Amino acid sequence: MNRDEAFELIKQVLTDVVPGADLAAVSPDENFRNRLEMDSLDFLNFVEALSEHTALPLPETDYLLLSTLNGCADYIASRTSKA
């Protein structure tokens, strides 16, 4: 999966987890959890759904890397791209 595909997947998953989320109001380097007022359960649902869509393990130690759209896209793309 390339970075653009990862970015689109992340936006789709966020919209599924936070219905009505205004992703246009979220800067790519901003903590989307804060902007979208996601509680810890919402964020956990996001991580689990993202893991299901990508077939990647997403350990809790990496959650900080998944807190911005850009960081999340980079993380997912780097672990799903084929060499």
Domains and CATH numbers, the chain: 3-17+27-80 (1.10.1200.10)
For residues 28 and 20, is the Cβ–Cβ distance under 8 A?
no
pLDDT at residue number 43: 97
**Do the Cβ atoms of 36 and 51 come closer than 8 Å?**
no
Over 60: is that where the pLDDT of 5 sits? yes
Helix or strand or coil: residue 31? strand
Is the CA virtual torsion 33, 61, 41, 9 positive or negative? positive
Higher per-residue confidence, 83 vs 73:
73
Would you place residue 83 in the very low, low, confident or very high pLDDT band (cuts 50, 70, 90)?
very low
Give the N- to C-terminal CA distance of the chain in Å, as an integer. Answer: 11
Supply the pLDDT for residue 64.
94
Residue 68, beta-bridge partner list: 31
Tokens of 70: 């850009």
* Mean pLDDT, residues 1-22 taken together: 95
| Per-residue pLDDT reduced to its tens digit, 24-80 | 999 999 999 999 999 999 999 999 999 999 999 999 999 999 999 999 999 999 999
- Both tokens of 63, joined, read 């959650």
